[in-house]
Amino acid sequence: MQARESNREDAPAPSGEIPRHIAIIMDGNGRWAQQRGLDRTWGHRQGVKALKPIVKEAARMGVEVLTVYAFSTENWRRPSQEVDVLMTLLVEFLARETAELKGEGVSLRTIGDIGRLPAGAQQSLAWARAETAEETRLILNLALNYGARDEILRAVNRWVGESGEKELTEDTLSRYLDTAGLPDPDLLIRSSGEYRISNFLLWQLAYAEIFISDKLWPDFDPAEFRQAIRSYQARNRRFGGLG
Ligand code: IPE
Ligand code: IPE
Ligand code: MG
């Protein structure tokens, strides 16, 4: 019988270069639920559960930053009942998991225009961020009310208002983005077999390697995560040069 890769926490990490920053588009929750005849929101509940093992695996492997797309600027178009459940799940996730994440050395941060989230979600985020501010093993960056076009416009408008400069450079724009100070993602993972960016990190993904997983997000597990990293390790990143 062929050995199948184990999901156990002591499974060997991929040997080779570990991406410093991994970005994930956590997609397919709704389809996961619909395939089971359940309301889409059950898929979101399962999707939240899928995140913790991936965060732990990333920390264990020595990834520095994990940025996960949790709610886009376009997701407000969904029925208000679904949006309400997503916001509630966020608050519950933070209340339940922050202490354990802190114990794992995880620092919680956000990107996106979180000032437009419900007040309760903003309060939970501020609390979780403060609780974990001293941690340095892994940055877990939650993309919430995030859209890359919105991020770039907010950055440029703030620069216009603050800097008094006439010309914007790549370095300056990078410093005004929500991801200021973080390395660009080396690897972008999208679950559920969709081949699109959906307004995620348009500036920062310029030279990211891309891994599309056919698994729906609630089924995405550490074995699939390691598969993505092994795929990354087999790539030849040339950055426009000759490699
Ligand atoms: C991703 O799953 C979670 C969010 C966008 C909040 P979806 O809800 O997009 O699931 P599908 O793509 O409809 O299956
Ligand atoms: C992208 O997924 C946003 C998140 C995963 C939060 P969507 O499901 O919203 O993207 P589209 O609509 O399929 O492009
Ligand atoms: Mg989707």
Q: Rounded to two decimals, what is the model's pTM?
A: 0.95
Tell me if residue 159 falls in helix, strand or coil. Answer: helix
The domain spans of the chain are 21-233
Which is the catalytic residue, given 75, 113, 184, 219? 75
Q: What pLDDT digit, counting tens, does each position of 57-74 carry? A: 999 999 999 999 999 999
Residue 239 — left, alpha, or beta (φ > 0 → left; ψ -120 to 50 → alpha)? left
CA pair distance 103, 84, nearest whole angstrom: 29
Q: Is the CB of 28 under 6 A from ligand 1?
A: yes
CA pair distance 121, 114, nearest whole angstrom: 9
Which tokens sit at 236?
A: 């030849």
Which architecture characterizes domain 21-233 according to CATH? 3-Layer(aba) Sandwich (3.40)
Return phi, psi of residue 139, to 5°.
-95, 120
Residues in the chain: 243
Q: For residue 197, what are the contacts with CB-CB under 8 A and spacing of at least 6?
A: 25, 188, 205
Q: Is 89 exposed, middle or buried (0-12, 13-18, 19+ CB in 10 A)?
A: middle
All residue ranges of the chain with pLDDT < 50 are 1-3
Which pLDDT belongs to residue 14?
Answer: 76
Q: Is the CB of 34 under 6 A from ligand 1?
A: no
Q: What pLDDT digit, counting tens, does each position of 14-32 carry? A: 778 999 999 999 999 999 9
CA atoms within 13 A on the CB side of 14: 21
- Select from 188, 147, 155 the least CA-distant residue to 171: 155
Cα of 50 from ligand 1 centre, angstroms: 14
27 noted as active-site residue: yes
Which pLDDT belongs to residue 243?
Answer: 78
Strand partners, 140: 66, 108
